Amino acid sequence: MKKSCAFVVVAGLLCLGAGSTFAGEIPIGHLNAFTGPTSDVGAHYGPAVIDAVNYVNKNGGIAGQTIKLDTVDYGYNAPRAVATYKGWKSDLKPVAIQGWGTADTEALVRFVTEDQIPYISASYSGHLTDPVGSSSHAKFAAPYNFYYSPSYSDACRGLVQWAMDDWKAKGGKGKPKYVHMGDNHPYPNAPKDACNAYAEELGFEVLPPIVYSLKPADAKAQCLTLKDTGAQYAYLGNTSGSNISLIKSCSTVGVDTQFLANIWGWDETAITAAGPAGNGVAWVVGATPWDEAKKNPMMKAISAMSDPEGKEYRALHYIRGACSTMFMVDAITKAAKAGKIDGPAIKAAMESMTDYVPKGLEGVCLPSTWTATDHRSTTHIPVYKSNLDGEQVQMTKQAEVLVPRRPEWLGW
């Protein structure tokens, strides 16, 4: 859809195209998976992006301009994501994009780099953290890719660091065994090599990976394999839906392994659905849980955009979606103050953030830092354990692990 616009000064504003000094609307693409194998978490994250944008627009927009958000459910299908992007490029002309999965985000790196469009994804692949391609491990330079979260690799490193401390605290002798589990897919595979290397460095015996589907399914065969290995610690690389199935299957065959779940791999819904079988799962939590977050006036107001009566419980993924969006909003606001809303200006604004929290969301979002040479937003890894006491979901913080920010780990 093409838009015509007269170059006329009205009340001090110019009506120009996307990326201009001033514009009537700020076009943002929003790619999400409300359907498909990751919809169990996309159903929480996506609405938060929409609510946050509606909140911004309701409260005056950015520099007097409203955000035009185009939300597309691509069903976690990478080719469809690429096609959507190409359509946006010729029609919407976004100045930034809120993205989703690993396969599609990595497939779009070259495009957003060439087009200079900041891409703030819900994929936390370590491959996206090297903006200049300086690391020997980097698959590519990703100067326009950002996300709010520790990378999958650093999160997994934090989990195995916690696991080794756990092993020693329990009086474990010799080398504990560690195994990576997940589908043979870019998302669960993203941290595999990096985390295996660090686990081995810490003193684990690293076992061959065990593959299980991203789609929820009976996993007794994989659980029997896990049991036979004798692994004391197993990293779960899939999203929560398939992890529920796996953990329930493993409970029926007597698996006695400490499960370590990634940031998308465990949540309040999973804790309830898995029941007692899921008690004791350790996982990475990337935002303040709702019981605390709802005390924040801005977070409460964002949630109220789709829940005016305040009855909804917001999962951790919702809170991260809101945080991600508000980091982008603050970057666009800073770019507007500098006189131009376009990709390079938004990128520069993101890269000026040091231990930054979106204004109004202090105590909710984790402080994050991006620079022109390092897009690892944080290496602080909050590790929690879950428990279901009757119908009461309990999430107990175990540690705040600080993963080393090694130069050679950039992009890995």
pLDDT at 49: 98
Kindly report, residue by residue over 26-68, the tens digit of the pLDDT: 999 999 999 999 999 999 999 999 999 999 999 999 999 999 9
Kindly report, residue by residue over 390-411, the tens digit of the pLDDT: 999 999 999 999 999 999 999 9
Element (H, E) at 136: none
Query: In whole angstroms, how far apart are CA 282 and each of 152, 285, 291, 377, 398?
Result: 15, 10, 20, 22, 8
Kindly report, residue by residue over 334-377, the tens digit of the pLDDT: 999 999 999 999 999 999 999 999 999 999 999 999 999 999 99
pLDDT at 19: 45
pLDDT at 25: 96
Mean pLDDT of all residues in 196-207:
98
Tell me if residue 382 falls in helix, strand or coil: strand
Task: Say which residue the tokens 């015996």 belong to.
Answer: 205
Kindly report, residue by residue over 373-383, the tens digit of the pLDDT: 999 999 999 99
Domains observed in the chain: 9-150+290-350 (3.40.50.2300), 153-285+380-409 (3.40.50.2300)
Q: What is the pTM of this model?
A: 0.92
Examine the pLDDT at 14 and tell me if it is beyond 50: no
Kindly report, residue by residue over 135-169, the tens digit of the pLDDT: 888 889 999 999 999 999 999 999 999 999 999 99
pLDDT at 135: 85
Q: Average model confidence (pLDDT) for the chain?
A: 93
Tell me if residue 92 falls in helix, strand or coil: coil
Mean pLDDT of all residues in 320-328:
98
Structure-derived torsion over alpha carbons of residues 110, 214, 236, 225, reported in degrees to the nearest 10: -130
Integer Rg of the chain from CA: 21
